[in-house]
Structure 1
Amino acid sequence: EAELASLTPQQIMQFIFKPGFSTAEQVTSVSGRGVGMDVVRTNIEKIGGSIELNSKLGRGSTFTIKIPLTLAIVSALIVEAGRERFAMPQIGVVELVRAGAESEHRIEVIDGAPILRLRDRLLPLMSLAKLLGLESRKKDSDITRDAYVVVSQVGTCLFGLIVDQVFDTEEIVVKPVAPILRNVGVFSGNTILGDGGVVMIIDLNGITSALATTSAATDAAQAVAQSSHKKETSSLLVFRAGRGAPKAVPLSLVTRLEEIDASNIELSGNQTVMQYRGALMPLVDVDGNAVSLEGGTRPVLVFTDVGRNMGLVVDEIIDIAETSVNLEIQSQNSHVLGTAVIAGRATDLLDVAYFVNRIFGGWFMTEETDAYEDETDEDREPPKKRLLMVDDSAFFRNMLAPLLEANGYDVTTAVVPPEALAMRQLGEMFDFILSDIEMPEMNGFEFAQACRDGGAWQNTPIIALTSHTTPQDIERGRSVGFTDYVGKLDREALLHALVNCRNLNGDMA
């Protein structure tokens, strides 16, 4: 499910071309075997063509098929690889890049596969000489220091070819490839240049097949690049509640929207509750207080995690807004993160952690800390620092990210420690790391130990976000490299811990 969530719509569409993939409920003599579109693509690629799919829900699908001419005059880029010249059809060439260690365009190696860092994305690379079994002028170790890269595109696949030299563009006459070379797959024909030299024409469709072995590393690297460099938008649920500006919460935190009648609200001690899905669900208003037992039907936002529900009663649901959260005014109210312009109106972004903590108290924590009581909000001067948060709980990632961004941190998230360590391998640097303890694949203790064992993050402050804050847990955490320990819902302690880590780094500098 995590892998599916990271796929783009275009990547999901490509499953229709996979052999054996079918949406039919039953297999019949004419359908359901998942071979139709696979056969179509295979036969199109056999003649040097390509097929692309674009689909929009409720509007339809468009298949774009490109089939090359067997004899034509085309513009081609002449390059050299392994002391041999080759022609690359210019229609598939996006740009030429001179990559180097000191350049903004750098070549890195991920899991043995070369990757080009080009502006805001990472591209898979293939040495043309190595692909053709030729001896390149440059050693593999020299490629990362200085190389010519031809950035090419076939359909929606963008990749780079490393060549030894780039000459010029020429108008060439394409002649069919000789029968003896038809099974090679990377040549689409040959031509005679103006100086009389015979060169082979590179088939970019064949190159994409050769890149299949690096696709896993490429997809992971691309995901890291997008999360590190793009300012993602957030889906916010906008509503009215109480007086003042409209309110909003991240839509990803809302489990369900319900309508309740005041007659179904009951009083338990000083708390209002209602029977919901076989259990009692606490209800609060936007100020964190008990809900009025009078009135008619009202909307409720239901928040759920670790099997518990909480309801926030509001007056009216306005809309769902897709926007980049940029808090322009900080709030002094403990339940409001700040105010941002959403859909053209000033809107208060609520801190869901405040309501959860007010109702359940130690729901996620076994012990609270008072180690930072002496500091006040005025003592904090939130820096524009890069912060990595590693937590497998989407609930906490979505809840804490707005809080941290509102206090001046540039937040990058990772679901599991291996994803975070892949960022380290790519050269990503952070000023602080927040890590959960209980995670699949690798727990927080192992992650902290991996960071401290060496590498670029060896001295980066690491703060544990956990529900276990007993002295034994804290001692174990510090022994493997955690700088500080904070309860998951202790908002003030987390912010003070970050300030303390910043001050500690400043003293050491």
Structure 2
Amino acid sequence: MDDLLADFLTETNEGLAALDGALLKLEKAPDDRQTLSEIFRNVHTIKGTCGFLGLSRLEKVAHAAENVLGKYREGSLKVTPEGITLILSALDCLKSIVAGLESTGSEPVGDDAPLIAALDAAWRGEVPVAPSTAPRAALAEPAPMVPEPATAEPDLAAAEALFETHVAPVPVPAPVPAPVPAPAAKAEAEPEAAAPAPAAPAAGQGGAAAAPPQTIRVSVDVLEDLMTLVSELVLTRNQLLQLVRARSDSALTVPLQRLSHITSELQEGVMKTRMQPIGNAWQKLPRIVRDLANELGKKIELVMKGAETELDRQVLELIKDPLTHMVRNSGDHGLETPEQRRAAGKPEIGRVMLNAYHEGGHIIIEIGDDGRGLSVEKIKAKVLSQGLTTEAELAGMSEREIQHFIFRAGFSTAAAITSVSGRGVGMDVVKTNVEKIGGTIELRSVEGKGTTFFIKIPLTLAIVSALIVEAGGERFAIPQIGVVELVRASGNAEGAQIERIHDTPVMRLRERLLPLVSLSRLLQLEGSAAEPEKDEGFVVVTQVGANVFGIIVDKVFDTEEIVVKPVAPILRHVTMFSGNTILGDGSVIMILDPNGIARATGVGADGPAEELAQAAAGLRGTRSSERTALLLFRAGDDTPKAVPLGLVARLEDLPVESIEHSGGKTLVQYRGKLMPLVSMSGGWVPPEPGRRQAVLVFNDRDRAMGLMVDAILDVVEEHMNIEGASEQPGFLGSAVICGKVTDIIDCAWWLHQAGDDWFRQTGAAVAPRRLLLVEDSAFFRHLLVPGLTAAGYEVTAVDSGAQALQLREQGTVFDIIVSDIEMPDLDGLGLARAVRESGPWQELPLVALSGRVDGERMRLAREAGFTTYVGKSDREALLASLRECLAAPGIA
């Protein structure tokens, strides 16, 4: 019986979770017969199985709800919002009883008579009124969980169906059950299968239905054990690779490569079993928003995008509560009442938006609203009243820095405390919980227009990518999620320098002061206290929420995928560590926690983190006339070569034995796929066995290409003023970098050599113009800007239509706009309509970019206001379109 009860609880919880969304869907579309039938079947299944298990209280509530749904299904009752509210109240009651059943193994005691009476009244056709005693999932506590004796007669048909489901996960046709005994007044409710098998053909249809995919339930503990074993296998694989590299044993190279490949596939497969769509954490939100709107007298629309985006189950569980709190805050504090929105010229219905998507090895979650935004003046007044800072300090802060005070503990600008939010204990807890899993949270808010929060979290907490560094003779791992960039500090005037203000190390990075922390001194490693601090080394620029600071280390090795092990109890009080791991050589090293280091030292940058992060990306959000992060390398001849650092995904040092040839192409097995390699030195000749090949990896989504070079030289920050278009294929021209003439490579040309038609070679230069590029893909921004800059344009690149419109509001002037069509939130068509509607950009030429070119898309672009339409892969056509648009009459 215990196993049957466990199966019942699992099935019932899944059904109840699905019912919330289905009922809200039915409320919006009352004539949706398919949704209504799905709701009826779910409730009927719960009711039928309760009889066999002796769950009388659960059965009575479910049966009363089923009767009302039966009337809806047969059409004798009309679906109304009041009726849906009543069914939702019954659903909340069912959830409360099931929660008590899970905790104690027996039904909790409770009085459901008012709820059942209301349901019976609705069944008789009376106006439904939800009883005040009905529990609400979002706000009420469950009833006391006291066992109640089972008295109901067993439902043998339901028992048989449940037993068959328990014995075989394999789908089987469900038997036709006997009708459930019911009072005469409720006899119209139709009996159906208590536990319908999905493989059974639909009633009234000829032939068998399509077989559903085979599934089986596996205990979470089993999956965790598998993950642990795979983690150990990854560590062992890394150790073997280290041994073979040291011994240069060619006999083991091929089988070890195969072992490495299989291990990676196994790791990926096990990780998939832990991955769940983020929509699972969003299931309760539509219901919460509906109840919130009714309670506050507001009209709220919840828009959810990217629900299919997957992340680790462990991470998913940890972000459920923060997401719920933030959505409730948006509805309560963020959105205005319908009257206030009308007075502000807004639609009555306010929007709360959720969006999730992958970016590198992370998940980005956006939670926003189109409400009142954050009031900077109110925040200032609250800051001063709480003594968090002085008026003089506040006057020197930017608007964004002032907005970040909402993350302080106990800080709230709410005028009154409500049952929904406003207790002043919210956003600081959200921030702490996000940082506990190695994530960061940022915000953007415009008063009167709304607020959006950006949460960046790792895909998984089990295996993460980390930068291996050394300080004080000890090695450490820094998770890459918090690493913005890596800067080499030198003692001479040519490179970045470590300076000191009152014995505190700082670095001037792009004309801003970056506070620094010496890792060896912080951890009091041997000899660090006695030795003077060096002015040379490496600085790992790290971002923690709104703060950006640098960690000084002695050496930097490589990035590795590490297996995270929990910190030993004896070290848990040391907040600078988030775990430990084992490297390929068997060494056990600690994993640094940038959040803990920030808290322990109290460091923070002197300006917004977003600006630094954008500058670190190379070209995103910056003008082409500003400094750009460049990777310097040598290939072919002695002239140094350069490429924007933001375009390079990874630097690899591959053993030459791993490089293969097939079909006239040079390839390497890279992260479970074949990656084409292109040599910059002409015909590539493999060096002697045991040697290694430096490779720059470029990738965008599922595409990757490796550029083989002779040596990596440095990473620098310089003005990339390209002079003289190069006639040599593969190069944009030359620039003076660090006092030396340096060739700037044309990445698009080299990508084309790999056989992927991403772009074609750049065309001729045009007269200098101010150009706005709107492109949500960071890869294509980095790819387009150098070519446009070389063609003579002064380029400003942003990653969304909303950012472009912000530039318009700030009075930024451009000569032409180039925009991608397919973008999240405000796409290119929406941007074009906004530009053409009003404002100083109304007459600017607009060039549409898209990966797909057809007549219908071109027509839609023209109707939206675009001047011309160009395929994203055709760079020559883009440059020709720019020349044509700017040469048109009326363009100065």
Deviations 1:191-235 (A, max 9, x none): xxxxxxxxxxxxxxxxxxxxxxxxxxxx99xx9xx9688943111
- Distance in 2, matches of 1:403 and 1:488, equals 13
The Cα of 1:306 is off from its aligned counterpart by: 1.4
Residues 56 and 239 (structure 1), Cα distance of their counterparts in 2 relative to 1, 3 Å cut: same
- Tell me which amino acid in the other structure corresponds to 1:327: I
Q: How does 1:460-475 map to 2 (within 5 A)?
A: 460-475=844-859
Q: How does 1:126-205 map to 2 (within 5 A)?
A: none
- Alpha-carbon RMSD across the aligned residues, in angstroms, is 3.7
- Tell me which amino acid in the other structure corresponds to 1:474: M
Match of 1:257 in 2: 651
Q: Tell me if the contact between 1:353 and 1:489 (Cα under 8 Å) persists in the aligned partners.
A: no
- Unpaired runs of 5+ residues, structure 1, are 27-52, 61-218
The SS at the match of 2:754 is helix
Match for residue 247 of structure 1 among 614, 626, 641: 641
Match of 2:803 in 1: 419
The Cα of 1:282 is off from its aligned counterpart by: 0.3
Q: Kindly, what percent of the aligned residue pairs are identical?
A: 41
- Distance in 2, matches of 1:299 and 1:451, equals 46
Match of 2:728 in 1: 333
- Tell me which amino acid in the other structure corresponds to 2:830: E
Residues 11 and 254 (structure 1), Cα distance of their counterparts in 2 relative to 1, 3 Å cut: farther
- Distance in 1, matches of 2:750 and 2:817, equals 26
- Tell me which amino acid in the other structure corresponds to 2:696: L
Q: Tell me if the contact between 2:735 and 2:743 (Cα under 8 Å) persists in the aligned partners.
A: yes
- Distance in 1, matches of 2:649 and 2:800, equals 23
Q: How does 1:20-39 map to 2 (within 5 A)?
A: 21=428
Match for residue 57 of structure 1 among 516, 522, 543: 516
- Distance in 2, matches of 1:259 and 1:465, equals 36
Bigger relative contact order, structure 1 or 2 (CA pairs below 8 A, ≥6 apart): 1
- Distance in 2, matches of 1:297 and 1:229, equals 37
Residues 294 and 12 (structure 1), Cα distance of their counterparts in 2 relative to 1, 3 Å cut: farther
Q: Tell me if the contact between 2:696 and 2:707 (Cα under 8 Å) persists in the aligned partners.
A: yes
Q: Tell me if the contact between 2:633 and 2:714 (Cα under 8 Å) persists in the aligned partners.
A: yes
The SS at the match of 1:383 is coil
The SS at the match of 2:767 is coil
Q: Does 1:238 align with 2:622?
A: no
The Cα of 1:241 is off from its aligned counterpart by: 0.5
- Distance in 1, matches of 2:624 and 2:755, equals 36
Match of 1:271 in 2: 665
The Cα of 1:327 is off from its aligned counterpart by: 1.1
Q: How does 1:442-461 map to 2 (within 5 A)?
A: 442-461=826-845
Residues 12 and 59 (structure 1), Cα distance of their counterparts in 2 relative to 1, 3 Å cut: farther
Residues 471 and 311 (structure 1), Cα distance of their counterparts in 2 relative to 1, 3 Å cut: same
- Distance in 1, matches of 2:875 and 2:818, equals 13
Deviations 1:314-356 (A, max 9, x none): 0000000111111123211231111001111111111212222
Residues 255 and 498 (structure 1), Cα distance of their counterparts in 2 relative to 1, 3 Å cut: same
Match for residue 408 of structure 1 among 792, 802, 824: 792
Q: How does 1:371-450 map to 2 (within 5 A)?
A: 382-450=766-834
Match of 1:344 in 2: 739
| Bigger proportion of residues as strand | 1
Residues 25 and 478 (structure 1), Cα distance of their counterparts in 2 relative to 1, 3 Å cut: closer
- Distance in 1, matches of 2:514 and 2:743, equals 37
Q: Tell me if the contact between 1:271 and 1:290 (Cα under 8 Å) persists in the aligned partners.
A: no
Asked which structure has the greater CA Rg, the reply is: 2
Q: Tell me if the contact between 2:632 and 2:715 (Cα under 8 Å) persists in the aligned partners.
A: yes
TM, length-normalised to structure 2: 0.31
Match for residue 686 of structure 2 among 276, 287, 293: 293
- Tell me which amino acid in the other structure corresponds to 1:56: P
- Unpaired runs of 5+ residues, structure 2, are 1-363, 367-396, 410-424, 435-505, 507-512, 520-609, 615-619
- Distance in 1, matches of 2:717 and 2:856, equals 44
The SS at the match of 1:292 is coil
- Tell me which amino acid in the other structure corresponds to 2:745: L
Q: Does 1:304 align with 2:699?
A: yes
Match of 1:18 in 2: 408
- Distance in 2, matches of 1:318 and 1:228, equals 25
The Cα of 1:262 is off from its aligned counterpart by: 2.0
The Cα of 1:299 is off from its aligned counterpart by: 0.5
The Cα of 1:476 is off from its aligned counterpart by: 2.1
The Cα of 1:259 is off from its aligned counterpart by: 0.8
Q: Tell me if the contact between 1:335 and 1:355 (Cα under 8 Å) persists in the aligned partners.
A: yes
Match of 2:885 in 1: 501
The Cα of 1:277 is off from its aligned counterpart by: 0.7
Q: Tell me if the contact between 2:808 and 2:841 (Cα under 8 Å) persists in the aligned partners.
A: yes
Q: Tell me if the contact between 2:678 and 2:753 (Cα under 8 Å) persists in the aligned partners.
A: no
TM, length-normalised to structure 1: 0.53
- Tell me which amino acid in the other structure corresponds to 1:454: S
The Cα of 1:489 is off from its aligned counterpart by: 3.4
Match of 2:172 in 1: none
The SS at the match of 1:474 is helix
- Distance in 1, matches of 2:646 and 2:856, equals 34
The Cα of 1:245 is off from its aligned counterpart by: 1.3
- Tell me which amino acid in the other structure corresponds to 1:452: R
